[in-house]
Amino acid sequence: MLSRHAENLFWIGRYIERAEDTARLLDVTYHGLLEAGSEREPSEVWSECLEMLMLEDEGIDTSETVGERLIADRSEPGSIVSMVGRARQNGRTTRELLSIEVFEALNDLYLFLVGRDLVTEARDRPYEVLRTVKSSCQAVGGSVDACMPRGEGYRFFLMGQRLERSLITTRVLRVWHRRAMQLGTQAAFSEWVRLLRSVSAYEAYLRTFKAAMEESQVLAFLVQSPDLPRSVLHCLRMVENLLDELDMGDMGVQVRREAGRVRSLVEFADISRYVGEGLDGFLETIEAGVLGLAESVEKSYFRPAGPIFMHSYEAF
Amino acid sequence: MGTLSDYVGSGFCEMNAADGPREHYKPLVARFDDFDLGALESRMALIESLLRRQGITFAVYDDEQGLERTWPLDIVPRLISASEWDHLERGLTQRVRVLNAFLDDLYQGEQQIIRDGVIPRWLIESSSGFLPEAMGISAPNESRCVISGIDLVRDGEGVYRVLEDNLRVPSGISYVLENRVAMTRVLPQAFSRYRVRPVAHFGASLLATLRSLAPAGVTDPTVVVLTPGVHNSAYFEHAFLARHMGVELVEGRDLVVDGRIVYMRTTRGLDRVDVIYRRVGDEFLDPVVFRPNSLLGVPGLMAAVRAGTVSLANPVGNGAADDKGIYPYVPRMIDYYLGEEPMLPNVETYLLWEPDHLEYVLDNLGTLVVKPVAEAGGTGIVFGPSSDHHTLEDLAKTLQSDPRGYIAQEVVQLSTHPTFTDKGLAPRHIDLRPFVLSGPNGVEVVPGGLTRVALREGSLVVNSSQGGGSKDTWVLID
């Protein structure tokens, strides 16, 4: 497969995952604010949200309209509409590799966003807009699963999606935990709910552990659960399998080694040791590991260097 | 009441003769009697949503702003009878065979046509489409116009004429195929009354044609489509063709030339490429040979072509044959190479470097149409009848200072066809761009082609970039 196409599919996976996660986080943040009433300063809650999305250095102001802007502002690279626009643009350049259903799912989402007064709707009924974004992103993933042949294109899409997902889960946990440490008291039940909802793990947690919020248990669940599709471990195992299946011979050795290293770091960590002060450092290591892995994927498969690119060309 | 049986045409009407509908249109008229205007309107809306959902668009400006236009397809198909098509097919075959022979003579032969004084040398050498860089590059089976689009119009008397030849990178074939798919979904009832020649095999035909161009010794060639990229207005078509042939769609940056061999960059390293169906213009193909600032091309590509390790379709230099200043000589070429009469006449054309032509043109600018010789897509055309005094005065000066740069033609009153408009079904002017392949088995014409419609009342401009629409074109089987 062309390197450029592989890279495009990898990034469609990342953008769509990010758009879905952004929608989920915004939804949770809106609701958190409503439920918390006057307890918390809204701008502070929004800064946390930006940090969870790794947008803290983008100079986004956290005034009242930040939620709408993160949905509808085209000039904001991290907004949902911008990310979906880029995913679709990538989709147009790899259209011949996507099955028609995948492209249509992507296009439907894009047309939903640009075909209306999104700013007004994001302000007046954010819940509905965000819910449509989430389900449309899942429709893209679903049509990939249902319609794309299990070749390189499929695998690079999934790899992008899972790397992005593991990053967001790590980040959400990290930001949430840092704040809990600052407060110094045991987190309120509603705060635990907010954390779990941010990564779509609330109901799964209740079914597994009942309504008992125990810190090391929640942490282990989000980091190490082998069954939770948004746990860091689940995502990284998937990435590792995908790399194995790609079977790139020597080209892939370095990346696979790196994937294995990060995954075992997550899998075999004794989380109970990290409860309290140590967790932030642990999560930081994981985050750096995942970012490094994503970079290695790009370097190895999309932009391999070689003497051939230093050629001087002959005219005739 | 019937939507088509009450229809009153204008000019040369494709559907109605003086005494009512032509024979081959009668079943269509009867079918449309089942629909009232509301039913047609809802079907038009369905077409629009079908094409829009699938992203069948053109003229992309800034994609981030969501400003693509959905491809406009009209609900009333254009019908061509079997006997009419037989005439067109033979005329097109004759024309493309001759254009192939001419280009081969020019670039690889003895330029016999010039030596014999049929076409003046200066005319060819002053053509911007004539590329000395293409001299000596061979083309298998004389396939120079591997894929061409020949624009036909039907004049006030109903005579089909060739308006222009497009032999470089003609667009539109993807819309021919998509129009058909959309029409079978939206108007299935109409098809049941006709037997229509299929167009769906085009991808396979094109691939077979391209594979036949493989360099000597390559038995299982790798074919790719080369596109300038997603911002090109015909990008949809480039992707469409790659998908329908099952081959890679590459951009210049995906290709690399090493040791006069072309490779593409893949996740598993470099893969050799044998045939390139390129939709990048000649001058952008190779910055080493042509425009040095082009980022769309592949440095070293022409050296590989010249070494015979890779084939281009269409080959470089075809612009010498579709130059509008050379167009008037095509009937003479047909006589010269085949000893035949042209089956499809040209439109009356005036050459401004002939003093008597120039004089006539300057005296009659207000009734003529003037076109730059090397442009495509309707760019730079001036219609005398709809231009003001100042425009014509400026034009007269331009023509006198650059007679080789322009031609003038009589305005052809294009035939009209019933078309869905906001005022119901009304006459609109149409043309026809059939697509022709030149391959190992000779010349093959795709049944029908792209019928373009000037959607504005009275307008003769059908180009989609200037508000034109389209129709599905049915070639009927007797």
Supply φ then ψ for residue A307, to 5 degrees.
-60, -25
Contact call for residues B45 and B69 (beta carbons, < 8 A): no
**Quick check: pTM over 0.90?**
no
Average pLDDT score over chain A: 89
Q: What proportions of chain A, in percent to the nearest 5, are helix, strand and coil?
A: 75, 0, 25
Rounded to whole angstroms, the Cα distance separating B115 from B384 reads 37
Which 3 state secondary structure label does DSSP give B439?
strand
Question: With an 8 Å Cβ cutoff, are B257 and A313 in contact?
Answer: yes
Q: Which residue of A has its CA nearest to B227?
A: A93
Residue with tokens 């207000």: B366
Task: Tell me what pLDDT residue B126 has.
Answer: 94
DSSP assignment of B93-157 equals HHHHHHHHHHHHHHHTS--HHHHTTSS-HHHHHT-TT--GGGTT---GGG-SSSEEEEEEEE-TT
H helices then E strands: how many in chain B? 14, 25
Who's near B259: CB < 8 A, 6+ residues apart? none
Most confident range (mean pLDDT) of A174-183, A246-255, B447-456 is B447-456
The distance of A8 to chain B (nearest Cα, Å) reads: 12
Digit-coded pLDDT (tens) for A58-78 = 888 878 888 899 999 999 899
Contact call for residues B311 and B120 (beta carbons, < 8 A): no
Contact call for residues A308 and B270 (beta carbons, < 8 A): yes
The distance of A162 to chain B (nearest Cα, Å) reads: 20
Q: Which residue of A has its CA nearest to B252?
A: A4
A248 touches chain B (CB under 8 A): yes
Higher pLDDT, B41 or A36: B41
Beta-strand relationship, B468-471 and B450-454: antiparallel
Contact call for residues B311 and B215 (beta carbons, < 8 A): yes
**Chain A positions in Cβ-Cβ contact with residue B56 (cut-off 8 Å):** none
**Closest to B244 measured CA to CA, from B212, B205, B196, B274:** B205
Longest dimension (CA), chain B: 71
Rounded to whole angstroms, the Cα distance separating B352 from B49 reads 48
Give, rounded to a whole angstrom, the gap between the first and last alpha carbons of chain A. Answer: 31
Digit-coded pLDDT (tens) for A191-215 = 888 899 999 999 999 999 887 888 8
Question: With an 8 Å Cβ cutoff, are B300 and A114 in contact?
Answer: no
Q: Give the pair of three-digit tokens for residue B319.
A: 């612009």
Q: What residue type is assigned to position B414 of the chain?
A: L
Query: Which residues 336-365 of B are in CB contact (within 8 Å) with A?
Result: none
Who's near B413: CB < 8 A, 6+ residues apart? B11, B12, B155, B156, B429, B460
How many other C-beta atoms lie within 10 A of the C-beta of residue B207?
18
Strand partners, B351: B407
Which 3 state secondary structure label does DSSP give A297?
helix
B306 touches chain A (CB under 8 A): yes
| Confidence at A304, pLDDT banded by 50, 70, 90 | low
How many other C-beta atoms lie within 10 A of the C-beta of residue B185?
12
Q: Specify the DSSP element, H or E, that contains B355.
A: helix B355-363
Query: Which residues 57-86 of A are in CB contact (within 8 Å) with B?
Result: 74, 82, 85
**Chain B positions in Cβ-Cβ contact with residue A1 (cut-off 8 Å):** 266-267
The distance of A209 to chain B (nearest Cα, Å) reads: 44
Task: Tell me what pLDDT residue B92 has.
Answer: 98
Q: Specify the DSSP element, H or E, that contains A132.
A: helix A126-147
- What was the ipTM of the complex prediction? 0.75
Task: Tell me what pLDDT residue A225 has.
Answer: 96
Who's near B192: CB < 8 A, 6+ residues apart? none
Longest dimension (CA), chain A: 77
B308 touches chain A (CB under 8 A): no
Mean pLDDT of residues grouped by 10 in chain B (478 residues)? 82 94 95 90 91 72 56 94 97 98 95 97 95 91 93 95 95 94 90 91 94 94 95 87 93 93 92 97 92 87 95 96 95 97 97 94 94 81 91 93 94 94 93 95 94 92 80 94
In degrees, rounded to 5, the angle at the alpha carbon of residue B242 between the alpha carbons of residues B238 and B245 is 140
Contact call for residues B64 and B196 (beta carbons, < 8 A): no
A:B CB pairs within 8 Å: 92
**Closest to B361 measured CA to CA, from B371, B372, B348, B351:** B351
Q: Specify the DSSP element, H or E, that contains B164.
A: strand B160-166
| Confidence at A308, pLDDT banded by 50, 70, 90 | very low
Contact call for residues A169 and A200 (beta carbons, < 8 A): no
Contact call for residues B264 and B270 (beta carbons, < 8 A): yes
**Chain A positions in Cβ-Cβ contact with residue B299 (cut-off 8 Å):** 313
Q: Give the pair of three-digit tokens for residue B20.
A: 């009512």
**Chain B positions in Cβ-Cβ contact with residue A5 (cut-off 8 Å):** 248
User: What is the Rg, in whole angstroms, of the alpha carbon atoms belonging to chain A?
Assistant: 20
Q: Using CA atoms in the order B51, B55, B58, B59, what is the torsion angle rounded to 10 degrees?
A: 130
**Closest to B438 measured CA to CA, from B175, B98, B196:** B98
Supply φ then ψ for residue B243, to 5 degrees.
-65, -45
Which 3 state secondary structure label does DSSP give B300?
coil
CA dist list (Å): A175 to A48, A66, A170, A281 = 7, 19, 9, 12
Q: Which residue of B has its CA nearest to A97?
A: B243
**Closest to A163 measured CA to CA, from A58, A304, A46, A11:** A11
Task: Tell me what pLDDT residue A94 has.
Answer: 86
Contact call for residues A309 and B256 (beta carbons, < 8 A): yes
Q: Specify the DSSP element, H or E, that contains B368.
A: strand B368-372
Q: Give the pair of three-digit tokens for residue B257.
A: 């030339």
**Chain A positions in Cβ-Cβ contact with residue B267 (cut-off 8 Å):** 1-3, 6, 152, 248, 301-302
Task: Tell me what pLDDT residue A316 has.
Answer: 41
The distance of B163 to chain A (nearest Cα, Å) reads: 34
Task: Tell me what pLDDT residue A305 has.
Answer: 52
The distance of B450 to chain A (nearest Cα, Å) reads: 23
Contact call for residues B60 and B231 (beta carbons, < 8 A): yes
DSSP assignment of A217-264 equals HHHHHHHH-SS-TTSHHHHHHHHHHHHHHH--THHHHHHHHHHHHHHH
Q: Which residue of B has its CA nearest to A2?
A: B266
Question: With an 8 Å Cβ cutoff, are A308 and B258 in contact?
Answer: yes
Task: Tell me what pLDDT residue A315 has.
Answer: 41
Rounded to whole angstroms, the Cα distance separating B374 from B128 reads 7
Rounded to whole angstroms, the Cα distance separating A47 from A61 reads 9
Supply φ then ψ for residue B256, to 5 degrees.
-145, 145
CA dist list (Å): B165 to A98, B195, B321, B352, B354 = 35, 30, 8, 20, 22
